[in-house]
Amino acid sequence: MRSVVPSAHDLTERVHVKARELGFDAVGIANAIEPLDIDHARYEAFLEAGMHGTMAYLAENREARHSVNGPHILEGAKSVICIAQRYQRSREEEASDPPLARSIARYARGSDYHNFLRRKLRKLAAFVRTLGTEDAPVQARPLADDAPILERAWAARAGLGFIGKNGLVIVPGLGSMLLIGEVVTTLDLLSGTPIAERCGSCTRCLDACPTSAFPRPFVLDAQKCLSYVTIEQRGEVASHLIDAIGEHLFGCDDCQTVCPFNASAKPRDVKDQFSPRPEWSDVDAIDLLQLSEMQIAELVGSSPLKRTTPRGVLRNACFVVGAQKDVRAREVLLALGEHADAGVRQAARWAITQLHGL
């Protein structure tokens, strides 16, 4: 008796069910065969304008970002399974976050998301491979911030969500406070339907940006974005951006905080890896100024804050203390004004000027 070969519809449904079982909040599937012509052209324009700043890795493997169907990602790829994981928590829960945690972007207050997101994506990829047969084996490659692809463009093609004016993927009902990942596979699945952009005339995200980092809707000049400044940029900060840093120790959520799609989104209702690490309850910004680089490294551990390096954390803490105008930090700021790192020196000396007359 011949076995029944599952239809593309059945296979697609199994993938959706498995993704939900793994805890992903949204799933979409894109056709991997057609390259990203329009989105790739926008990416090239972004690079040519120098908006990527010192993030040289964004300019590497340019052609690889044109298509996932090839040697850079996966030969013979037919589908891109796109997933979203929410990290937005309730306002009531966030209100009880320690002061230091509130100066950290929401996605980074807990554990490093790469670890658990990759584990779940690997499980999804393993499941997809089981959908093949001996005669027609299936390949699947999980991706989570570790390959040269245009993630948001694939998410939009998959119908996972639409791209908002701040360049982030917005999933109706879930908002934009999401982590996204992919499984690229040779399995031929049914593609989702792209969602039309729904921002309308709203410009709240653009208006809320502390540094006016959006030259126009849907285009971000990363060099001005506080997430870039406080995480990616090393050393000194452009003088015209310093006042805008305020109490942003690591990252910035301002353009998302004001978005109506996030205001109406149902937040996470469990305490998990996105809840603040216990360590953030034990220290404040002034405490950070008094730690050695080794102690800062131990404090941030495997959290996302390791991305900005101990000197980056120290520099940013100086800016935060200066914005808070906390006179208790005067002496330690004076000492840091002679620090070996130019960025720390600049931040400490700026912070001291904020305490004059207090």
CA distances from 57 to 54, 146, 147 (A): 9, 11, 10
Q: Which of 39, 97, 112, 145 is catalytic?
A: 145
Q: Could you count the other beta carbons within 10 Å of the beta carbon of residue 298?
A: 12
| Residue 105 identity (one-letter amino acid) | A
What three-state secondary structure class fits 197?
Answer: coil
- Judged by phi (left if over 0) then psi (alpha if -120 to 50, else beta), residue 5 lies in beta
User: Is 10 noted as a catalytic residue in this protein?
Assistant: no
Identify whether the C-beta of residue 103 lies closer than 8 Å to the C-beta of residue 248. Answer: yes
**What is the signed CA dihedral for 319, 325, 329, 331, rounded to 10 degrees?**
100
234's CB contacts (< 8 A; 6+ apart) are 54, 309, 311, 312, 343
Q: Are 289 and 317 in contact (CB under 8 A)?
A: yes
Contact 257, 248 (CB under 8 A): no
* Tokens 């940013």 sit on residue: 316
309 residue type, one letter: T
**Active site amino acids:** 145
